[in-house]
Amino acid sequence: MISTTIKINDIEMQVTANIGTPKKQWGKTRYKHIVTVRRKEYPPQKFDFFSSEIDYVGDKNRLDDVGLKGALECFVSDAIAGELDIDEFHSEFGYEKVSESLKVHKGCVKAKAQFEALGIDLDELYELDEMLRGD
């Protein structure tokens, strides 16, 4: 299991991932990882991360440091999108099927709640997003 530490201001998180298992997602087989985010004094939060099809073809079933940061960046992005109400979400991301929009929005709202459970508010999510993207 690979692990990396992410720090912004006084927030320090340890991010780990399991070895990926093959799973069909979005019409292609890729590796599914369970990523865990830990922060002292808060319960750990887990989320699914699907690596690229290229990783699967190249038999790269482990996330390295860059991969872990990329997975966390996706999780943060989802949490920020969870701040939008369903109408804004549907409009912003252009889903054609309302059922698909509702499903994805629900996942984003869950991601936001998971960061809140880690004691990380929306402003800190934006800071974390900027740091992970290198802005």
pLDDT one digit per residue (tens) for the chain, 135 residues: 778 888 877 788 899 888 888 887 766 788 899 999 999 999 999 999 998 888 888 998 989 888 999 999 999 999 999 999 998 998 888 888 888 889 999 999 999 999 999 999 999 999 999 998 886
Q: What is the pTM of this model?
A: 0.86
Residue 135's pLDDT is: 60
Across the strands, what pairs with 23?
A: 30
The residue range of the domain holding 55 is: 2-133
Residue 26's pLDDT is: 65
Q: Are strands 11-17 and 28-38 parallel, antiparallel or unpaired?
A: antiparallel
Gap between the Cα atoms of 65 and 122, Å rounded: 25
Measure Cα distances from 85 to 28, 40, 74, 82, 107 in Å. Answer: 30, 31, 19, 8, 13
Q: How many folded domains does the chain comprise?
A: 1
